[in-house]
Structure formats: structure tokens, C-alpha cells
Amino acid sequence: MQAATHETLDIEAIRRDFPILDQNVNGKPLVYFDNAATTQKPLPVLNALTRYYEGYNANIHRGIHHLAEKATSAFETSRRTIQQFLNAGEVEEIIFTYGTTDGINLVAQTYGRRFLKEGDEIIISTMEHHSNIVPWQMLCEEKGCVLKVIPVNDAGELILEEYEKLLSERTKFVSVVHVSNALGTINPVQTIIEKAHAVGAKVLIDGAQASSHIDIDVQALDVDFYVFSAHKLYGPTGMGVLYGKRALLEAMPPYRGGGEMIKEVTFEKTIYNDIPYKFEAGTPNIADVIAVQSALEYMETLGKNNIAAYEHGLLEYATDALSSIEGLRLVGTAKEKISVLSFVIDGIHHQDTGVILDQQGIAVRTGHHCAQPLMRRFGITGTSRASFAVYNTREEIDRLVEGLHRVRKMML
């Protein structure tokens, strides 16, 4: 059978896999362009959730009865699938979290608290999501570390020359986003990692936006930590992944105390479990962990490169179409981008843009996108953001353009 390409993807068939798309909003067919916030879920994911709850709902790892063993097997199979998705060296290097935010906090509060000290420097970037700013600020306040920030240029790209100037023997940790949620910029993380390692620093990459668009090979990157969320790649909410190198995870203390993360407990002393379980206290998000395997398998069936190529075509089409609208300015014009368009319209507040588009059944995100320092860098309070997924079409982009013309007509 001939391998599919992005030209042969059957988008209408793909759209039928996403039942939520088949509805009207305010009397208009739904156009869902808020995929950077969360993607919709295909039938295989929805069916996986139903199968678990209807067929083998049970707590995992400790039960010896049939349902518990079946649930445990599915849970750990999902871990192995994610190992392959990231090309991690060992399955034990895959830690289940509640999302990207939880993964970053885990590293900051375990590795950071144990290994960073007063005067050590942490580098982040101007384009970080608040989830990759606040945990490091909290750590700096507690430990007396110094937070340094990589600036961005007018196109929304990191200025690598300035990054190099920030690096020194005092740099102990670098934490940057792989892809900007607000701009769509793809950062040169391979270079960032290599330069950080050259001064002895460890590196965390926030892959929340990259995971559904870019092939990720943590061994090739030689990254120390990588985090992402399932709900950004057609999986369920409330489930995320932290990859960490074995030696680092084993050296880090537990993040939470409770069941599963222990080997033995007495009132005098607790012996902690091995990784990954040392970081997975309590009953986990079993159903969603199991269902993310279906999301990854769905993407594999379509072909991740095919998805990325199709979405890039949508991005190019939308960039040209929106650039023709009078008074509209794109924010973030990096050479390397995923399918995200942020924009402002002269004289119109971004929230008004979102409300009027919603009246036409078009869902976009408005606001600062949890990236207020980045918005301030561009001298704005927020943008309207349209972000595309594999089930979106050029016809929907045409509706967005029509909707934006209506925005201008109503507001100016």
C-alpha cells in the first residue's frame, strides 16, 4: 500500500472522526481555530475512554484481580508508547504528570531545590508561557538564584547572540519553550541545549505546542528534561508527560508524598520507590493516560509529517489572506513557525474581535495568551490568535477573513 502524503490526506474523513466539529454555534457551522489552547478529540480517543470506564475500570499496580491487571497493562503500555513517541532511551524515564505546567513545577521544586543555590543563574526567554516563568521566579525567591531572560527580535525570534552573552559558569539551568504558544515561533532548541551544556547547565524544554507539530527525539536533542500535555495533541485534558534523563530523575527527591511512590513506610522512615513511580504519588489519571495512546496512534496513522505539512499549507494560505485585510497587523513573523497566527487590528480591541467572530461561529483565542511579558515586548496588551489543526480547511480560513471584514465594518 502506498504511503499517504499530506496531499492525499482525506480531510473530510478526518473531520468525521471529530464529532464536536459537526455542530452550529450561534446558528453558524462551527469553525474551531483555538487549537493552540486545546485540540479536539477524535473518536479513537473518545472510544478508549469509554472502553476503560465500561470495561475495566480499576485502580492499577497493586490489584491482582482481572480488572486491575488489565488496567495496569493498558496504563504501562501507554508509557511505552510515549517512550517511543519521544525516542527516550528507557521507559522508566517517562513520568506521568497532570500537564506541562505540572511537569515544569516538578522539575523546579525537585531538581531546583536540591541542586541550585544562591547566586546560581537560570535562563528563560521573553516568549515563555507563564508556566515557564512563575515556577522559576518562585525558586529564585526561595533560593536566591538570579533569573536571566533571552530577548526576542521584532519578528518574534530569540536573539541567540544575546543568549550566548547570558551564558557563563554561573548558569546552572536553562528552561525555554520549543514553540511559542502566542506567536508560533519554532525555537532552535538543539543549539540552545548545546550551548547550555557547554557551560555545564541543565536544560528543560517546554514542548506543549511542539508535540503535535514537530518530531521530537530527546536522545538526539540530548535534552535533560522535556515536558508536554496530551490535550495539545488530540488527547485528553489533565494528563501530561515529563521526560528526564535517568541519572537526574534518580538524584531528584520526590515531588509529592503518598501511595505508590514508596517501597516501605514506617513511622521512623520511608524508603522511596524507583523511577518513574517515585514521582507518581496517589491514584493517577488512569483513563486519560490510557487514552493518550490512542491519540498518538491516530497521529501515527495520518503521519505526523503529513499533518505538519498540511497545517503549514493552511498557515501560508491564512498568512496571505489576513495580510490583505486593511489595518490588520500580524504579531510574530518568524521564518520558522507552526500553524499559529496572532494579529491585532488598528482601533479594535482584541476581545471585541473575538466576540464578533464568535457570533459568526468562529472560535479564536483573545488576550495575552499567558505570555504577558511577550505582549509588553511588542507594546500591546494582547492579540487575537487563530491556530490550525489537521481538521481545519481553507474554506474555514475564508470564513475567518469574511468574519474579520465584518469586525472592521461593525467597529470602525
What residues are labeled active site? 370
Name the DSSP class of 24.
E
Cell of 404: 474579520
Strand partners, 174: 123, 203
- Half-sphere exposure of residue 167, counting CA atoms within 13 Å on the CB side? 20
Question: Do 253 and 110 meet the contact criterion of CB atoms below 8 Å apart?
Answer: yes
Instruction: Say which residue the cell 493516560 belongs to.
Output: 289
Half-sphere exposure of 42 (CA within 13 A, CB side): 24
Neighbours of 10 (CB within 10 A): 10
Burial class (CB in 10 A: 0-12, 13-18, 19+), 412: exposed
| Contact indicator for 67, 56 with CB cutoff of 8 Å | yes
Q: Are 316 and 6 in contact (CB under 8 A)?
A: no
**Whole-angstrom Cα distance, residue 25 to residue 35?**
17
d(CA 233, CA 79) in angstroms, rounded, equals 16
Fill in the amino acid letter for 395: E
SS3 content of the chain, % helix, strand, coil (to 5): 45, 20, 40
Alpha-carbon distance of 214 to 192, in angstroms, equals: 17
Which sign, positive or negative, has the C-alpha torsion 272, 278, 281, 286? negative
Question: What is the rounded distance in angstroms from the CA atom of residue 239 to the CA atom of residue 114?
Answer: 26
